[in-house]
Amino acid sequence: MKTHIIPALKLTLVLLVLLAVVYPAVVWGVAKLSPDGGNGERITYKGKTYYKNIGQSFTADDYFWSRPSAVGYNAAGSGGSNKGASNAEYLNEVKTRIATLLSHNPGLKTADIPMDLITASGSGLDPDISVQAANIQVNRIAAIRKLPVDRLLTLVKDNTQKPALGLFGPEKINVLMLNLALDQLAGQ
């Protein structure tokens, strides 16, 4: 029995030090080398500070709407709703989101709504939407802000982030950066 317990205790101790001390220290050190010292990408606009890499609620009709959040965009409580596709409460939330999108975007059809505008991400803090999600909102924003549709489509294109290394992930748009660019465009 001693031949098994002592090596097991040694392995446990080594792994405890490695995974509970060394690994977190390395991750912390790498984070400190990043921009803003691992505190997130902050942007100051008109005296307000925003986090570029944390989703925020945009629901005004004159802005591009962000992806819904299951945690109310609270970074301290990151998480999804954990409700399945057959959950009645979840289905009602999705139907309400679809109805809201349709009522605020005349001419939009249910089949044209991308999933990222009606479902929350796993963290509830996704700062990005798909290009399709931005494009279906262009007509609403153009009408409200009295801007040409083609200028807004160009704005969407200019703010589209390509996949990492051209391979990993879909094209996406940071909603905060798009809305700040929209304010700057409208101010010209």
Q: What predicted TM-score, i.e. pTM, was given to this entire model?
A: 0.79
What is the chain's mean pLDDT, rounded?
A: 89
SS3 129: strand
- What φ, ψ does residue 44 adopt, rounded to 5°? -105, 125
Do 78 and 71 meet the contact criterion of CB atoms below 8 Å apart?
Answer: yes
Grade residue 188 by pLDDT with cuts at 50, 70 and 90: low
Give the span between the Cα atoms of 100 and 91, in whole angstroms: 14
Task: Read off the pLDDT of residues 56-67 as tens digits, 9 standing for 90 and up.
Answer: 889 899 999 999
Q: What beta strand segments (E) does 3-127 contain?
A: 42-45, 48-51
Do 52 and 75 meet the contact criterion of CB atoms below 8 Å apart?
Answer: no
Task: Give residue limits of the domains in the chain.
Answer: 1-38, 40-187
- Region 137-165 average pLDDT: 93
